[in-house]
Copies of this chain bind each other. A is one copy, B any other.
Amino acid sequence: MNYSERSAEYRNVINEALADALVLKGTPKLLRDAMKYSVDAGGKRIRPCLTMGVCDMVNGNRRMAIKLACGIEMIHTYSLIHDDLPCMDDDDMRRGRPSNHKVFGEGQAVLAGDGLLTYAFEWMLEAGLNFNDPNYYRAVAEIAKRAGVSGMIAGQSADLMSENEGIKNEAELNYIHTRKTADMLIASVLAGAYCGNPTEEQLICLENYAQKIGLLFQIKDDILDAEGDFAVVGKTLGKDSAHNKLTFVSLYGLEKAKVLAESVAREAERKLLDAFGDKCQYLYDTIYYILNRSN
């Protein structure tokens, strides 16, 4: 199976499990609809696909991986709903559809986000009582940490502050992206690893991998934004005009940002083959999928 076939298979498994998870008979219809609206908006499911891919790579317990992958996708989705709120990024659209609060109102959107975040833990923990495996709980704890106030939420908070004050330097840019983007990717791959019996060396390799693809993701986003802006309005490259934000392109220029992306991709590969042998193909392909994507 090639990369896109494997990803499609993982997505099918995840989407089916998410549909099961979100039947939610005891939940008011409006709240359930609001939660499902954003989960069903889909997207590439890159995080849960990585959890599944790593689980398969380490011959882990797939039933565990599916539960954790769903939890991760619920947490990712909640973060998008809250991020789009008027008091945050104030985005009316998400993935080509009106954002959650535009459809359900701000109050219910806050609750849909709270609901997905809490339900992620309910869903993972209820399953944990059956698995009764310390490694499974290690995965859930890792997800909580990376999603939390030293991880993703720390990044959101710093990003929100920077809207007023601007991002001052590369260190700050890296701080925000590591937490906003890389931390949940790290959680995703480590969760997959904990479905097997990973060695310390494998965990370190996976953390480096996810950190680098997180960075790569962001550099590539900045490149695509800049090229899109350039193509559309022919404007001068530089600080993102909409937000006056520091980006990797404004920092290095477009050509150097592309070179940086290539080199970060190579850093992501590092030791993958040593740690996992031929079985690392899916993780390897994910790097180049991120590097070469066109949207």
A contact set with B: CB distance below 8 Å: 24, 26-28, 30-32, 35, 78, 82, 85, 87-88, 105-108, 110-111, 113-115, 117-119, 121-122, 125-126, 128-129, 132, 134, 137-138, 140-141, 144-145, 147-150, 153-154, 156-158, 160-161
Contacts and interface: CB of A to CB of B under 8 A. Distances in A.
Q: How many chain copies?
A: 2
Contacts of A157: 27-28, 30-31, 108, 111, 115
A117 B75 CA distance: 12
Given A114-B153, A115-B153, A157-B30, A134 B129 contact: yes
A250 B145 CA distance: 46
A145 to B, nearest CB: 5
Given A28-B157, A137-B125, A137-B128, A85 B110 contact: yes
A76 to B, nearest CB: 13
Given A105-B87, A153-B115, A148 B125 contact: no
30 contacts: A24-B150, A26-B149, A26-B150, A28-B157, A31-B154, A31-B157, A78-B114, A85-B110, A110-B110, A111-B157, A111-B160, A114-B117, A115-B149, A115-B153, A115-B157, A117-B118, A118-B144, A118-B147, A118-B149, A118-B153, A119-B149, A121-B140, A122-B141, A122-B144, A122-B145, A125-B137, A125-B140, A125-B141, A128-B141, A129-B141
